[in-house]
Chains A and B, each alone.
Chain A
Amino acid sequence: MTVEPTTPDRPRVSSKAQVSSAAPEAKHTAPKVMRDATIVVVAAAAIGVVSNLVRHKEKLSWIQATPYDLLVPCAEPVGQAQIIQASSPLVLDRTSLIIDARSTSDYAQWHIGRAINVPFDWLGPPVQDDVTRVTQMITRSNAKRVIVYGDGDNPDSGGEWARLLSGGGIRNVSFIDGGAPALRNLFKELHGEKKQ
Chain B
Amino acid sequence: MNRWLDWRFHRWLALPARWYLGGLFILASLHKIANPASFALDVATYRLLPLFTINMFALVIPWVELLAGIMLVLGLRVRAAALVTSGLMAAFMGALGWALVQGLEMSCGCFASQSAAKFDPISWHTMLRDACWLAIGLYVICFDHQPIGLESMVGKRR
Q: Which residues of A contact B (CB under 8 A)?
A: 22-26, 29, 32-37, 39-41, 43-45, 47-49, 51-52, 55, 58, 60-64, 67-68, 70-73, 75
Contacts and interface: CB of A to CB of B under 8 A. Distances in A.
B40 A60 contact: yes
Contacts of A29: 79, 145
Contacts of A62: 55-56, 59
Given A52-B59, A62-B56, A40 B64 contact: yes
Nearest to A27: B145
A1 B68 CA distance: 61
Interface string B46-64: 0100011011101111111
A42 to B, nearest CB: 10
Interface residues of B, number: 43
Contacts of A34: 80, 83
B84 A37 contact: yes
B59 A49 contact: yes
A101 B11 CA distance: 63
29 contacts: A23-B146, A25-B147, A26-B145, A32-B80, A33-B79, A33-B80, A33-B141, A36-B80, A40-B81, A40-B84, A43-B67, A44-B60, A44-B63, A44-B66, A45-B63, A48-B61, A60-B36, A60-B37, A60-B40, A62-B56, A63-B52, A63-B56, A64-B44, A64-B52, A68-B41, A68-B54, A70-B45, A72-B117, A75-B103
Given A44-B63, A63-B55, A72-B104, A58 B45 contact: no
A190 B117 CA distance: 41
B70 to A, nearest CB: 10
A58 B145 contact: no
A37 B80 contact: yes
Nearest to B65: A44
Contacts of A43: 67
A41 B59 contact: no
B144 to A, nearest CB: 9
B26 interface: no
Nearest to B105: A73
B106 interface: yes
Contacts of A67: 44, 51
Given A23-B146, A40-B81, A48 B63 contact: yes
Contacts of A25: 79, 145-147
Given A25-B79, A40-B64, A70-B45, 6 more contacts: A22-B146, A33-B83, A37-B80, A55-B36, A68-B44, A68-B54
Contacts of B87: 37
Contacts of B51: 63-64, 67-68
